[in-house]
């Protein structure tokens, strides 16, 4: 799967549909924070349809929250100076864009003969339910490299992915969906998906090898 503008959540980004949680499950859900840079958005913490950050361009027309854009640009520039090309292939997505892609997928699958339930299930294996995507925060970037633009595990072996893993925290970014944390994040390993949380939080998260949900639950 090649990276594309505003078009795809990754094929591995799986979220649950509307579900209620038990009292025991609720106790384990990370607390939400008032800090803009630590906003948690996932299948259990959805973002309101009216939410829209103030945006600024980061690279090639892709936008993100203006409060994080300078850090992202500095990261890209410093990587370039060290011989590593970082290519943003997705940034901010509006609720409407997410809704459109989600519904188009459901409609196309139903037209192909899938039942309504199966069309939804198949869609959720490809596209995050509207309100559940981190891209709607403006704090997430999908970052590849010109020589390898496929959103798959092979990207993890590129110089770009290795550089990000070792240096992103210096700029306030974390690998948002690390390997081994799928049971917590509900999302498969995505070596291209980086999320701004601020330098202090990023350094702690990456040093400890934890995910954002675990950091906010501490």
Residues labelled catalytic? 190
Residue 197 and residue 174: Cα distance in Å, rounded? 7
* Nearest CA among 198, 189, 196, 70 for reference residue 134: 196
From residue 101, give the alpha-carbon distance in Å to each of 83, 97, 152: 36, 6, 20
Handedness of CA 8, 10, 11, 17 (dihedral sign): negative
Q: If 0-12 CB within 10 Å is exposed, 13-18 middle and 19+ buried, where does residue 128 land?
A: buried
């Amino acid at each position: 799967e090649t990276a594309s503008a505003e078009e795809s959540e990754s094929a591995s980004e799986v979220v649950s549909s509307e579900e209620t949680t038990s009292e025991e499950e609720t106790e384990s859900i990370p607390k939400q924070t008032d800090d803009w840079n630590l906003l948690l958005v996932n299948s259990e913490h959805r973002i309101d349809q009216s939410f829209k950050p103030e945006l600024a361009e980061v690279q090639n027309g892709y936008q993100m929250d203006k409060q994080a854009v300078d850090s992202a640009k500095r990261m890209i520039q410093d990587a370039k100076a060290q011989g590593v090309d970082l290519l943003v292939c997705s940034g901010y997505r509006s609720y409407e864009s997410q809704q459109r892609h989600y519904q188009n997928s459901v409609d196309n699958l139903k037209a192909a003969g899938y039942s309504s339930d199966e069309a939804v299930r198949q869609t959720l294996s490809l596209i995050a339910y509207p309100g559940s995507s981190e891209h709607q925060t403006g704090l997430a970037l999908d970052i590849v490299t010109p020589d390898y633009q496929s959103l798959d595990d092979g990207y993890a072996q590129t110089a770009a992915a290795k550089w990000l893993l070792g240096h992103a925290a210096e700029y306030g970014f974390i690998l948002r969906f690390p390997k081994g944390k799928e049971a917590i994040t509900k999302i498969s390993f995505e070596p291209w998906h980086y999320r701004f949380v601020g330098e202090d939080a990023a350094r702690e998260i990456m040093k400890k090898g934890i995910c954002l949900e675990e950091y906010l639950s501490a």
